[in-house]
Amino acid sequence: MIKTIKFTILTLITFALFASPALSDEFTKKDLERWQAEFMTAVKQGEKLFHSSLGRNTVSCDMCHPNATNTHPETYPKFQKQLGKVVGLREMINWCIINPLEGDALKMDDPRMIALEAYITYERRGVKLDPGKH
């Protein structure tokens, strides 16, 4: 029985190695569309979160940052006065959630954090990277 399973796995691996339907540099227009759609789903989720209460006082991000303005994602990482060190955008997002929104920090890889970052950077698309700028 164990032998049979081992053989099956080996056969599958061999098949996967030599008979893979797509090479790593092979993707279609359809793939591109799907990836873009996935990204836009994150942007939409981020937009929703950005306009909802993420803390305990009903305050939302958009109240100070309509269309995510003055978030300047293109300037991170940068020295952030209130944190006293060079930080990434996600740490600044958490600062806002903890302070003006009176809430709890999100984990750095929380899907909500990624969605917020997606929305913020999407609204700032087209602006050149300028890390460290104030």
Partner 1 sequence: MKKGISRRNFLKATGIIGAAAASPLSLVEFSWGKGSEENFTVAHISDSHLTHIKGNEFVRNFDKGLKRAVTEVNFMRPKPDFVIFGGDLAQLGKREEIDHGLEIMSKLRYPVRWVIGEHDYYLDLGKYWEEKVSKLHYSFDHKGVHFIVLNSILTYDDWMFNKWKSPEVRMSQMARLDNPQGSPFMVKDKQIAWMKEDLSTVSRDTPVVVLSHSPLYKIFKPWNFWTEDAEKVQAVLKPFKKVTVLHGHVHQILYNQIGNITFQAMMSTAWPWPYPVSYAQAKNAVPKLTVFMNRADPHSERDATGWSMININNGRVINDFRLWENTNRTLKYDEKLGYPVDEKYQNPENRIPPQEHY
Radius of gyration of the chain (CA): 21
Smallest gap from residue 93 Cβ to partner 1 (A): 12
Tell me: does residue 64 bind partner 1 (CB under 8 A).
Answer: yes
52: left (phi over 0), alpha (psi -120 to 50) or beta: beta
Taking the complex as a whole, the smallest distance from the CB of residue 111 to partner 1 amounts, in Å, to 23
Site string for partner 1, 75-94 (x = CB under 8 A): ------xx------------
> Can you tell me the distance from the alpha carbon of 46 to that of 106, in angstroms, rounded to the nearest whole number?
13
C-alpha distances in Å from residue 79, one per residue of 5, 65, 68, 84, 94: 56, 20, 20, 7, 15
Contacting range for partner 1; rule: CB under 8 A; set: 8-16, 32-40, 51-59, 111-119: 51-59
Residues in touch with partner 1 (CB under 8 A): 51, 56-59, 62-67, 69-70, 81-82, 95-96, 99-100, 123-127, 134
